[in-house]
Amino acid sequence: MECVYLENAEYVGDFKVHLQFNDGKSGEIDLKDTIYEHDVASVLRDPREFAKFHLDSWPTLAWDCGFDLAPESLYEKVEHQQRNAHHKTQHSSHR
C-alpha cells in the first residue's frame, strides 16, 4: 500500500467523523470506543471537545490535548466498517 494520508475530515456528530483519504477512499467511522480506550483522550469524551480536531502537518487526525490517530489506523477502520456493511447487505439480501 502506498503512503495513505487524510485529505479531509468532517465531524458528523456523536463521535463520528467522515474521512477522505488521498486514494479516494472515504467513509464515516465512529471513534467513541477509541476515545474511551485511551486515558490521554479523556478530555475528548466531551463531544464539544472531540469536535475540535484538526489535520496536523503529517496529516494526522489530531487534537490540542496531544491525542492523535494515524491515517493508516483510520484507513483500516474505514475498510473494516465497509467490509462489515457489505457483508450485512449481502447477508440480509439472501433471506
Exposed/middle/buried for 38, CB within 10 Å: 0-12, 13-18, 19+?
Answer: exposed
- For the chain, the domains span 6-93
pLDDT for 82 equals: 85
Exposed/middle/buried for 64, CB within 10 Å: 0-12, 13-18, 19+?
Answer: exposed
Predicted confidence band at 89 (pLDDT cuts at 50, 70, 90)? Answer: low
Q: Convert the pLDDT of each residue in 40-63 to its tens digit.
A: 999 999 999 999 999 999 899 999
CATH class of the domain whose range is 6-93 = alpha beta
User: Over the chain, what HEC string results?
Assistant: CCCCCEEEEEEEECCEEEEEECCCCEEEEECHHHHHHCHHHHHHHCHHHHCCCEECCCCCEECCCCCEECHHHHHHHHHHHHHHHHHHHHHHHCC
